[in-house]
Structures are given as structure tokens and as C-alpha cells.
Structure 1
């Protein structure tokens, strides 16, 4: 057949990469302009016309007819270094780049449509192989995936804290929950000094995500280089701070980072008014500080701080013009450190697609298996649909898998490949000991990815919620006990005779003994007076002390 085509001058022989190759005669001009291959004589002029962007067209044709390939593959095929052209085609979206083949150890390129066909074929096989697990497996998987209580206290340090923070970026939690509940469970032995060091060095940045009354608020933590790409955390609905005091503080901070004492000099506001305005901007995500310490005592007023330092401190203020100017301005813990606007960190020029991709990646890293319910619980603007295309793209690149991994949740679920195997391994493993988690801990799925179980007594008036200060005891992948915020109420989430109940209560007692949970003073158990509860004798046997109208437990 080749001889017939050559005889008809429909196929011609040219030299490529030191080898004789047969090509379509109509492509003689293309190969000449792309590779410098000399065409044979006697071809029609139409076959020898100049071909614009010849090498780019040749590479696109090669990609459309091959699976994932490397720059070396192109060199061996055509005898040229096409790295620059491949980079251009990647940038304009013509080609995708990544470690695309199983077991690949180098970057490869592929035509998007070719990769989609390959992925569709392979994913169809994979989806048939994966049977969904029930929700209990997810509840057991998440703490393991997030390394809760997996690290011993020995060897803990600032490097382990860095590792723990990577998948937790952009997660908004109350300050005290970060340092009391979330980070210690992932680091092994947490020291606030490590967080102070990371913030002081500029490596970690915090952004406010809404006030919680007058004493605290939610904050999200970021590595500085990731702030712009991940974007600000979700903020509660409400008007932005817009008083004259807020405008004055914004104007001063726009000139550059400064200490609170600088603000006192440059902004014509009373110290306490200035402090309130500054924290309003911080909780609104507009201002931040290069120290973490202010978050631990954000509403300690200047007047109170001065009283606590005592009269001796006031006596040390130098008299005269300059000393008097500073009188009473020693920074309280809630305003120490350098303050600055967050706008330069967030940058408005970030590609929205790149930001959605980064968000999809960090959520996958955090949860391992990502569902619609989890994305909604995170407060992502636009919900699951806003990052669905990026998740699908990660599937195309082989970074994630799409399937129906957890029974009863939305049909569109995405997971990291390693997470699927661990999810199934957890389902087959023996039950682990009861685990006590903060209700808002991202490793605690109930009230977010999973619904709370219906109460056995049918009483819906005693609601359990994901609220800061509350704790949940998980056993066998189910919530067994819920400790209300403040430690005055306890609710059981299983039948009274469930064999897991006593173990869950014992685990709660152990958390108090270790100092992870402060003193408990139970007044109600399942809505009844604690002293009259059928669980009262069990609680006393575990170490609770009987007192007037309550059962108490201390470390």
C-alpha cells in the first residue's frame, strides 16, 4: 500500500531525527517549516506553501494522536527540543501538564481530550471496583486522616506544627479552639511559643473571620505565600465597619504597618475607642497583626491593663512633654505587636480559576474524601458547584478520584487516591477506643459532612450543634456523648443501655484528668437534673463528686 501511495506522490520520504520517514505529501511544507526537513522535488506548489506556526501545529497533531508524553519523546520522534513550544501550549490551555501515568516520575504533557478519554475508561473500571462505605467508616477515617492523637509528645516541635497547619489553612475557628483543642491533638505536645515564633517570623498569618461576642472571634491561619491564592475565609453576613473611627484607622494602616502606640499618636481617637475600632477591623478580616498573642486576650482594655500593672508602672512614666504624651499608652496584650491591613496580602489580581483550584486542593488535603456537605459546611461562596470544575480537572490530572465512596451522601464525591484505600481499611479495622473531639474540630464530621443522629427519646428540643466549647465523644464511628458548652449539660446520643456509653463517659473523664477540658459542673443530663439522672451512679463511679444540684469533676 505504501508503494502505491508513493507511486501516486501521495506519500514521500524525508529525513527526520537521522532516520528516513514517510509522511503525507501534503505535509511536506509543514515538516520543512517545523523541522527543516527538505522535501523531495516534483511536489505541487500547494504542498510547499509556507505554514505559520508550523512546529506548534506539528506538536498539537502529535498530542492529539498520542497518550501522555514527555519532551524526550518529542525529541526522539522529531530530533528537536520542543520544551519552549510545549510550555506555550500548556499556558494557552492546549496541553495539560502533570505526572499523568501511574507510577510516573516526571512531568508529562497530554491533549485534554485524549486525557479525558483515557480517564473515562480507567475511572469506569475503578468505580466498579469501589463499593461505598457507610457513614461510620467516614467518622473513623477523618481523625486518622488528620493525624489526631497519632503523634507522641516526644519529638513534637515547630516543624510538626508546620505540617499540621498545611491542610488546615483558611479554616475559620475560634482562637481558643485552635490552641486548646485542634493543634494539640495533631502535634502531640503543643506550645503557644511555637505559634508566636511562626507569626513573628512572618511565616504564618492570621485573618479574622467574624467576632464572637466581645471576648473572642474566629480566625483563619495561612502560610504567608498562600494567603493570596487561597483567599479570605468566609465572613458572617453583616455590614462592614464604616464609622469615622474605622476610616481613620484604615487610613493610618494604609500608610504602613505600625504599633498601637503609633496609632495613638497619628489617629485622633481615645485609646479605648481606637482599640475597639482596631479589633472591629481585625474581626472583619481587614486588619491583622504580626503577633498571635493579641488573639489570646483581645478585649483586655487599656485601662484594665494599666490597673493590672499597678501604680508603680505609672510612676515610671517620665514627666514633661514627651513623657506625658505617652502616659497610659502602654500596650495591653490585646493590642501588642504590629498592625497592618490585609489587603496587600490578599491581592486582587489573583486568577479566580487559580484560587478555586487552590481551594479545591486544600479541602481535599484536609478531608481526604470531599463531599458536597463538607464544602457547604466550610461556607465556600457558591457552594460545591463553585469548585466542581476544578475538582473534575484534578480528576483528569489523576490527582483526585470521583466516585460514590460514602453511602448516603451526595453522589458527586472526590477523594485523593490514597484516601480511598485508607477509608476502606478503616471500615475493615477493629473499633478503636472512644475519641473525644471538640464539636467544631474538622475531624469531627457530625453536623457538617454527616447529620446528627436522631435522639432515641424523640425529644428534639435538646439540640446538639457544632459550637465552640462543646465536645463530642465518638465510638465505633458514631457520636455517643455530647458535652454542652460550659460543661453544665451532657446529652447521650445512643440508647441508655448501649454498651459504648460507659466507655465514652470514661473517655470524657480522662480528658478532664489530662487538663484538656476544664472543670465540669453537670447540672443536666439528657435534660434532667444531673443528681436524679439514671447515669448519676455511673458518673460518680468514674470520679464525679456529688454537690448541691450538680456533679463536678476537676483535673
Structure 2
């Protein structure tokens, strides 16, 4: 591996390696010719005790750079009298944690042998892993005899800090966060950052923090997230930028002459286990992609194929196996599907089979995107645009995992507009021009969960101490006292639990003493409902003996009956039984089966990539207007397109220019109007800026047109623009009405977003994170429809209180995390000043770009189109209470209610019926807050226990 200019590797490397103990130095020099740049610079910073962020591409040795110093410290320092954990490694993936645990064995064994040869003493470090799959017996064993090096996940670290296991972490002096870039910009990252600050409350000294990241920018933002703060100032973090560009051999492949023919109706009859027979079908690119990918698999030793969806991965794996069998290439399974809905045990088996050569390829989703060592993979195939440059580099980097080895990748676009984005992504991958990362600010649902967990482990916690700990976390460094107290109010029972039971207090806030303590059951609540990953209500899939196979979407299970077969992991399974929380199956090899499906969110195109797509379209039109040959040459040479891909993309762009006379780009927005098949007007706003810009624009347009013109407009959005469907009565819509005043944008969105089902869905997830929608039993699934109904009930209550923290958090998440409102405001400002020009055109039929928007409108409209009825109703209840009161009136409403029912409700509210009486001191306190002043006899009437001691404690 090369070194930077002016860098004397012999001197620097000798100095670095010389810092290690003799056994470690002996092993390293015998195993490697020299340290990699990531190791050279990383070793020096870590040995010096600095918090360190190492940024380097896959296969650069950065994991060893983090661990080797810690291992050297472990084997050279005097052991403590009792065993305790000294090194904590946190991975975002259990599979990666499992991989690291195995990969640590080689250096530890090697150093042991070197020590034996040198005649020096060596105490072999004990390594263990704790994840959600760790058995209770193994957890107890680690509690009695903690490992020197503990490998875990963010969720398991949180659970340890919220249980007696936290005592085993008291002597941790090194924390390694792997793949930190994958978490920094997420609520999971904020959750982990708070856990790190809680860890510092447990440890005797502040641990050294080491972050490992793929190529990322700005590194200062990731370093700030890693380091957090101390005494109001960011902790210093040394940045080791070894992100030299990895050599990429990239090609964009289109296996058909004319992609414009795709999607046309044919009457071909097909059958087989991986296809569905039909009288009428649309031509697809899959029959052309599958044979080409099979050829590539045969030409290479080991291949990973990435798809963007689990269903697509299952479909492609089944088609490849079917085609291989038909051609006599392989009997049985040549390829397996690998994704997060497969059980971990199944994924490990599949990974091992690929490493051993039993499988020639894996079709995966993001489950294999991070730094798992997949052995001798020499080709990565990406089907469809990866959607972001960083994601594409991460995936293609799976090939040629070894230091200095190039990565070879083939990208197959699925349609012509996909090809447009792929061309831009490919160029930016070669330039390592990735999107920027920004950690979240003040996610209140994550804060609420950690407050309950932390207070449960620290009785009589001072509010000032809690605030100081929370503000050490970068995500909450700028949080005001008012916001924190608002969250504490929520947890202390400010909001009425009579209307929604799970609003009952979880902590007691003594405002006079300034202390917090947990209520009964708070610790159990925090443990059984911890984490940030939304509960999708998935059904577990099990063999009759209890072996877990994977999981299925709730909606698919409801449409399935015993005896039917389906495909999961590229294997066919027959359903034997469906219970309320699981599906029992048996293998059904060789039988046809239907493809599973899962609902999920797809991230929109980042703004940087959107601007790049626009600039590319502008450049391509300029070049092609002078010479088609020059344009094709540019696409092949600079954007890695093969000849057919270049011809198809150029034809697509030329057809759009012929249809509308203009192209949308980074300086032009095209507004196209035409009538659809049934004669209604459609307006397409063509823009390359991506869903995070287009979604809030569409929501604001919908609200504006309704408020100003009384027009109910249906809007749909995607990465490439917005579609509006006008009512039949509207024949014309002035272009000015499609422009939102940038100065009014925030106000319009604040009022409009709560009325969307996106808001209701996000509110459900935020409330669950804040422990307001707890699971009754952690080992049982809660149906998604029940979660939605309960969240709707909570939203109806919360909507009455403008300061309700989870309402505020949901608004923040929508406006800050999901949408890019500043970018939209900037674009609208440029449109107002004519820096971005508007082109309006009427067309006799949808242009090629408009056809792409209309074809993908379901995916673009996924929140509204898939809106459950309960969530739609929840939004109406939350926002239309005044209107409902006016329509029904309080007196009319009372007349609708049965007198006996009213009497029963009165007794319940007075807490004099069974199940409502107080059972302990906390509940006596709640009783007085709820009912008001009571005599001792009245309290006794409302208590199941002797109320006198409770009243004495409270007084």
C-alpha cells in the first residue's frame, strides 16, 4: 500500500511499532510488512491516550488499529484483583460483532505464541460477546466473570447500564465504536451517545473513545458526535483521515437495446417457482438482467449482489437458482438471499457457506453493507441505484476487502430514470464525493427513554446532575432547561393518565429538593421497551422444533393460509400453522412459492446528489447539442456506462427535450401540464432535488391550494419531482399558485404537517421510544394495527396540549430529519429571484420524465398511500377537536350517553371501584393529585392498603 508524499514510512512505522510490548511487536512484524496509513497514524494517537476518530475505506486495517493498543495494554498491565471488563467494543450489527469476535482470535493466539517464543509472561485476554441473542445463562456467567474485552451492540450496552450488569463496566478504559458513520445521523446514534455518557457515570475514569468510520464528511461533525462535551466545551478528538480513495473498477450495465420498450403490455404466459403466470404481463428488465448476473457469478470466485428491498432480493435469488437449474449449471442452490428478516442463525450459515465456497453468490440488502469480512469476494453487483454515493461506496467496497486490493462492481439500473441517477452516482463514487453527515439535535423521545432508565438506577438523582450528564452528549449540548423540564413533566405525570393509561408517571420529581426518583416498575419498563428501532409488528417464522427461520410482514401473514408455500432466504417453506404471534413452517424444497413482501421506508435522494443530478443533466444537454458522439464518449469514459447504457440514457434525455423543450436541472424547474387517461389534469413539477425537498413542498402546496382557493388537490412526490392531480372542475391553475413564499414556508409546514399520515406514523414511533406505548410482554409481538389504534388514542389526548413533548419531537423529526426545509427555502428563494428559472409547458401526453414520476407515484406517496385508517383518524382527532365540539356540543354529547354508564364512569373517576384504588405510596400521591383534597377516611376508601403510613410518608 502506498504512503502519502513526504512520509517516511521506515522511520514513522518503527517509532510506532516500537511503542508496543515485545510480544505484540514480534507478532505484528511477523504478520505484516508494515502498518497501513490508518494504523500508523491511529496507533500514535491511541497510544497517546487521545480520543480518536479513524476514517479509512474498507480493508484498511482500522479495526486492528483500534484493538491492538488495547490488547497490548491488557497483556502488559498488572491484572486487577477481580476480573472486570476493560475494553468495550460496540457494533451497529450483531453480525459484525460476531465477525469481530472471531477475527480477534488470530492476533491474541499469535501474540500468545510470540510471548512463548520470547519467554515473556502473557495473560490471554478473555473475549466475550453480549447481544440480544445471548442466553440468560451466558449473561449470568459474564456477570460472575466479566470478560476483558466485551463485544456488544448499542441496545445491549443500554440494557447493561440499566441493570446490575453495569457494575462490570466500572473499570472500562477503552470504548471502540465501529461503523460510527452508520449511526451518527440517526436516533440510534443519539441513543448510543447518551449511553456513553451514562457509562462515564459508572466508570472510575473517563474511557478513551475510538471511533471507526468509512470515508465520511465532514469528519469534524462525526468527531464532535464521538467526543461529546466536558465542562461545556467539546472533548478534543484526534482525527486520523486515512480515507485515501480505494481503486474502483466500476461499470454501469444495461442488457437491453431499448429501455423505452420496458413496461409495455405483452400476452406471454410464464410459469415456475420464481414467476407468476398471467395472461397479461408487462415487459420487464429482469429477464435480461438475470442471465447477465448469472454469467458474472460464473466468471468470478465469490459474488455479493445488492438489492434495495428484501422482496427484490428474494425474487432475484429465486430467479437465479431457477435459471441455473434450467441451464444445468447447478443442482440445488447456487445463490441464497440474505437480509434482516432472516433469523441471525440463518444469516450466519449463509455467510459461512459463501466463505467456504459452497455458495457462489449472496443476494443481500443493507444486511451486508457494513464491514463484515466476507472473505474472498471479488465482485459486487448492485441492482438499481444505491440512492447515495456513500452507500454505493460501502457496498462496492465489499469486493476486494484486503488491504490495497481494488474493488470491482457492476451496476444494473432497472429503468431509464434510474440509469440517470446511476450515471451521477458512479462518477461521484470514483471521486469519493460523498454526502455530508449531520448528527441529530435534541431527539426528545430518546431523551425520555434514557431519563427513565438512568433515574431507575440512580435514586434521588439531582436534576442539575442529570442535566449536566445529558448536555455532555453532543446531541443535547444546546438543550435548554425549559425543554428538559418539559420532558421531566411528561415523565412525572403532568398529562392526564385518566384519558390514556400509559401517561401515568414513571418518575417522581421533587421540585423543592430538586431530585428525581423512579416509580415502581420504571426499571422494568425501560428494559423491556428500550431501543430506537421501530416495532413493525412482524411475525416470527419458526420450524416446529422452535428454530427461528426469519420474520414476515403482518399484512402478508393475514393474507396467507396454512398449506400455502412462500419463499424466504431463497428456500421454499410450507405454512403448517399461524398463531397470534408466529408462523410455523416446514421446508418444501422444489415447490413453487409466492414472494414475501415487507413494508418499509426508503430514504430520499440527498440534496448534494440532487444538485449533482441537475448539473449533470445541464452538462449532458450542452455536450449532446453539439455532438451525440461526444456525449456518448463522455458517458462511457467519465461515468462508467457501457455502450448500451450510454445510448439508452442519451435517447431518454433527447426524448424529454423533444417532448417539453427543456430539461430540469440545478438551475431550471420544469412545470408540465397534461391530461391523464380519464381526462383529469395532472401537473408535474420536474426537479432533481430529491424527496426531502419535494415532500415538504408538496405538503405546503396542498395546504396552500386548499386554504387560498378551496381546492382539494391530491399530491404525490418522489426524488424527481411532484405530481398534482386537479379536480375535474379546475381547468386552469396559475403557475404563481405553485410557488410558496419562502418567508411563509415554516409557518405553512408547522400547520400542515400534523394533518398528514406521515406525522401520525412518526408520532407512533416517537411515542414508543418515549415509553408511552409499552409492550405488555417483551417476548410477544404487538400487532401493528393495535399499535396504530393505541397511538391514535394517545395522539387524540396529546393534541390538547401544545407543549406535549412527543408532539414537539414528532414535528421536529418531520421538519428536521425527514425533510430538508432549509434547502427547500433556499430553492424557493432562488426561484423568486429568478436564479432558478421556471419553465411551464403543456404537453399532449405525459413526457418521458413524467411517465417515470407517474409510474413510481405509489412509492413516492408511500406514507399517504399506505396510511392505516387508525392513523388517518388520529390526525383528524388531534387537529379538529374544536370543530367536533362545535358540531356536537357538550350538551348534545351528554344526551347520547347512557345514565348508568355515566354513573359507572363517575365511580371509576373517584377511584372507589376495584382496580382503581391506590396500592402503594406513589399511587396515593397520584390519587390526591387526580381527585383533589380528601380526608383520611376518604383516602382509606380509595386504597387497597392501609393509607395511614402512606399519608405519613407524603406529609
Give me the TM-score of the superposition, normalised by structure 2: 0.18
TM-score by length of 1: 0.27
Q: Whose relative contact order is higher, 1 or 2, with alpha carbons under 8 Å and at least 6 apart? A: 1
State which structure, 1 or 2, has the greater radius of gyration over its C-alpha atoms.
Answer: 1
